[in-house]
Amino acid sequence: MGGDVPEFPARFNLAQYLLDARVEEGKEGKVAVRFRDEAFTYGEVRARANRAGNALRELGIGPEDRVLLVLPDAPEFVAAWFGTLKVGAVFAMVNPLQREAEFAYALEYSRAKVAFVHAQAWGEFSAAMPPARHLRAVVFAGGEAPAAPSGSRARVLSWGDAVEKAPADLENEPTGRDDLAGWLFTSGSTGRPKAAVHVHADFAYNVETYAKDILEMRETDVTLSVPKLFFGYATGTNLMFPFAVGATTCLFEERSTPEAIFEGIARWRPTVLTSVPTMIQAMASHPRAATADLSSLRVCISAGEALLPEVYRRWRERFDAEILDGLGSAEMFHIYLSNRFGEVRPGSLGRMVPGYEGRLVDDEGLDVPDGEIGALWLRGGSAAIGYWGDRARSRETFRGEWTVSADLFRRDEKGFYYYAGRRDDLLKVGGVFVAPVEVEECLLTHRAVAECAVVAFRDEAGLVKPKAVVVLRDGAAPGEGLAREMQEHVKARLAPYKYPRRVEFVAALPRNDRGKVDRKSLETDGGGSSPPHLA
């Protein structure tokens, strides 16, 4: 594998590596976290994390116990996350805005003994508590602790009573580099989310290879994120990465909208923005784009789904900040494939991050030559040890040193990877495979298309055909004539069998809590804001 592969001592704790080491370096007074009008130094964050760790120990939490974080992006998340690591426990993070059934699943699946829960999640979370067999206590943030729901085995303590009154000094659990540290949930696009289980060294490995090498993270950086901290993508870029170099992270509880991100940039003047293609497109098309000052940004990171060249072009037309598009996964913790400063190829996900190695293979597991499409196999020091409670899927995905992905790519002769979709996303039209991302890229060059997704539908004969679901740009009116125009647009640029036989217009594309398009929901017929047009 290329680059210097980092090694970590046998005795290793991620909280020591990311947080305590900064204080020991003399950065105790440096601002680590900004939230609203407040600022918290590295010394203050360590004291709060120590208090959270002591609270967990008081509640009987020790090495390898799971702690569930149901918190928005706020200082409490940071303290609880580091406190969990400090006592050798294992963090599991979920979206605080999800529903009762999802909380019930997370509690049963994780067997978490303690959960940190914010007031905004209490209604749905409390309803999921009575059946939770393993939950001992809830630490409630955002106000006075409510009463535990009837039938629950757990007690409810306020953040003030459990954490703020705990001692500010704590001796970290002497964990090892291969001890369990955290769970990262998969997106759950093909069933219930599963947790990829990671050890302490996994997270530090990607910090050293991707954050410090590719992103060139530095102490003067200020980070801001569109995805929220419960998502491993943001846990890396907006918590671990800035803390690893003594930089500053900016947090906000509110939903990420173009307006909120523009406000955050104006307020905190970040240098690194973590984003997703949907937000990149929305910001570039927003009325405020013409006057917004994004000059503080030195880089915008994109991941989560394909960043099509047209979206990249629209962003760069309006803003100076370079976009480094990349690919990561819960299985590998973070980004292992990325564009680099001075080597950005729009439409490409770049080359392998130093410390990672990739292969493209066919259905028989044989390497395919450059230029041909194959499934991505990769290896590197941040791979999970498996999926919790799913031995069969673990064997299928983690094969010795190699992690097997469902993502399909072609690679050019210089090592740049181009996304061709997921194995289960490919459409077989007339016996020939069609990659939806290729049709989407073509449609985005049409004057009226703001966003689009291409999925399968079955025609009257039961045959699979491509369907385009389109969000129009401002000023464009849906109709049969425009649909036909889009079909001809694709026919003129791609092989004729690839054009969408149906075009549906919608106000917005459905997305999951990671910001990815929910393609399965689009495969059902109808559902658009205007009647579909059939060829």
Q: If you average pLDDT over every residue of the chain, what do you get?
A: 92
> SS in 3 state form for 178-192?
CCEEEEEECCCCCCC
Contact partners, residue 171, CB within 8 Å, separation at least 6:
none
d(CA 334, CA 428): 31
pLDDT of residue 525: 47
d(CA 342, CA 108): 47
The domains of the chain are located at 14-177, 197-422, 427-534
Q: Domain 14-177 - what CATH class?
A: alpha beta
Which pTM value belongs to this model? 0.84
Q: Which amino acid is at 140?
A: F
**Helix, strand, coil % in the chain, rounded to nearest 5:** 30, 25, 40
d(CA 297, CA 270): 6
Under CATH, which architecture does the 197-422 domain have? 3-Layer(aba) Sandwich (3.40)
| DSSP assigned state of 374 | E
**Coil, strand or helix at 67:** strand
Nearest to 362 by CA among 415, 423, 412: 423
Half-sphere exposure of 398 (CA within 13 A, CB side): 20
Q: Whose structure tokens read 């210089």?
A: 414
Q: What is the pLDDT of residues 392-450, one digit of tens each?
A: 999 999 999 999 998 889 999 999 999 887 776 677 676 666 778 889 989 999 999 99
Q: What is the pLDDT of residues 331-361, one digit of tens each?
A: 999 999 999 999 999 999 999 999 999 999 9
Q: What is the pLDDT of residues 514-526, one digit of tens each?
A: 677 888 788 764 4
Q: Which residues pair with 374 in a beta bridge?
A: 409
**Coil, strand or helix at 23:** helix
Q: What is the pLDDT of residues 357-401, one digit of tens each?
A: 999 999 888 999 999 989 999 999 999 999 999 999 999 999 999
What six digits make up the tokens of 529?
């804001």
Q: What is the pLDDT of residues 106-131, one digit of tens each?
A: 999 999 999 999 999 999 999 999 99
What six digits make up the tokens of 46?
């360590």
Distance of CA 503 to the CA centre of its chain: 30
What six digits make up the tokens of 171?
């001796």
Determine the straight-line distance between the first and last CA of the chain, rounded to whole angstroms: 49
The average pLDDT across 245-257 equals 97
Q: What is the pLDDT of residues 152-161, one digit of tens each?
A: 999 999 999 9
pLDDT of residue 360: 97
pLDDT of residue 531: 52
Q: Whose structure tokens read 């009762």?
A: 100
What six digits make up the tokens of 306?
């394909």
Could you confirm whether domain 427-534 is CATH 3.40.630.20?
Answer: no
Nearest to 44 by CA among 57, 68, 63, 27: 27
Computed on alpha carbons and rounded to an integer, the radius of gyration of the chain in Å comes to 23
Yes or no: say if 183 and 203 are a contact pair by the CB < 8 Å rule.
Answer: no
| DSSP assigned state of 322 | E
> SS in 3 state form for 106-152?
HHHHHCCCEEEEEHHHHHHHHHHCCCCCCCCEEEEECCCCCCCCCCC
Q: Tell me whether the CATH fold assigned to 14-177 matches the one assigned to 197-422.
A: yes
Residue 180: Cβ-neighbour burial (10 angstroms; 0-12, 13-18, 19+): buried
Q: What is the pLDDT of residues 198-246, one digit of tens each?
A: 999 999 999 999 999 999 999 999 999 999 999 999 999 999 999 999 9
- For residues 241-261, one letter each, b for 16 or more C-beta atoms within 10 angstroms of the residue's C-beta and e for the rest, the string is bbbbbbbbbbbbbeebebeeb
